Amino acid sequence: MKIYKFLSLFLIAFTFLTFTSCRNNDDEDTSNETSGKLQLKFENGFNNLGDIVLNQTTQTSSSGQKHQFSTLKYIISNITLIDENGKEFKYNENNPDKGAFIINQANAAAGIVYVDLDGVPKNNYKKIKFGLGISQNAYLLGQNGQAEFWEKAKQESMTWSWAAGYIFVKLEGKYGTSSANTEFMNHTGNMGNVIANNTPDLYREVMLDFPTTARVSASIKPSIHILADLNQYLSGVTPLSLSTTNDMAMGSNQHLVNVTNNLAKMFKVDHVHND
Ligand SMILES: [Cu+2]
């Protein structure tokens, strides 16, 4: 009996200590002097050539198929910055209203789609992690838990019904052998609650190294210039060909699982601006 008494006293003391130390950390983090801003620049291209022009830039896949996009959009969320000691700063984790963004090539300015983050702790960051799509944890908060982002995604045509959820990646355009003249649409996304519906989870986490350190401070707002190589779509880990069996695919069938796994490998940080 004595040992239980001792253990419970120990637990109470431990809880109290953890609680007070958490509060100290919070006080530090919310101070204005220790936070700054950071910008993500998404540049969608083919191989190392950026700035895809919708309805124009044509790529030939590894299996020889010509293709071009009329629509190129995807959702990113759960952005995490990792500092030189491996410590993570999670930017509005599983909170789509504040932490999810739609990258839409139609909104690109000189080939770049911008995402601005503020309230980022002053620090030297070496890596970034983000999700392609919306995590199950976020989706399962329900529609009221993400009313703002759901509405935004709806306006951008990145949703199905609430029961099915978000479209994670929306690729539309034309493909063909000698020229790109046949229409296709590939819309990836989860079918709602993937455990309840026994369907694949297409949410993917992407981790990228920075070639140089991003130094966030009150006076420096670094930009992380990310290249997305859309050539991975058909010429990635699993080479894919579009055909009448998959050129109008929506949801999370095997073709779209392959598309997702290919696209999850398309990102790299090309360079970091510290200014
Ligand atoms: Cu740049």
The Å distance, Cα 153 to ligand 1 centre, comes to: 27
Give the environment of ion ligand 1: residues with CB less than 5 A: 225
12 has a pLDDT exceeding 90: no
The Å distance, Cα 184 to ligand 1 centre, comes to: 32
Query: Tell me, what's the pLDDT at 48?
Result: 83
CA distances from 144 to 78, 97, 138, 141, 251 (A): 19, 10, 11, 8, 23
Distance (Å, whole) CA 190 – CA 75: 13
Q: What SS3 state is found at 223? A: strand
> How confident is the prediction for the chain on average, in pLDDT?
91
The Å distance, Cα 84 to ligand 1 centre, comes to: 22
The Å distance, Cα 172 to ligand 1 centre, comes to: 27
Query: Where are the alpha helices (H) located in the chain, listed in sequence order?
Result: 2-29, 96-99, 136-139, 147-155, 232-235, 254-263
Q: What are phi and psi of 73, to 5 degrees?
A: -140, 150
130-172, pLDDT tens digit by residue? 999 999 999 999 999 999 999 999 999 999 999 999 999 999 9
The Å distance, Cα 21 to ligand 1 centre, comes to: 39
26-75, pLDDT tens digit by residue? 444 444 568 999 999 999 999 989 999 999 999 999 999 999 999 999 99
The Å distance, Cα 81 to ligand 1 centre, comes to: 18
The Å distance, Cα 118 to ligand 1 centre, comes to: 19
169-203, pLDDT tens digit by residue? 999 999 999 999 999 999 999 999 999 999 999 99
Where residue 8 falls among pLDDT bands split at 50, 70, 90?
low
The Å distance, Cα 45 to ligand 1 centre, comes to: 14
Distance (Å, whole) CA 62 – CA 111: 24
73-129, pLDDT tens digit by residue? 999 999 999 999 999 999 999 999 999 999 999 999 999 999 999 999 999 999 999
Distance (Å, whole) CA 151 – CA 87: 33
Domain ranges in the chain? 1-30, 36-274
Distance (Å, whole) CA 95 – CA 176: 40
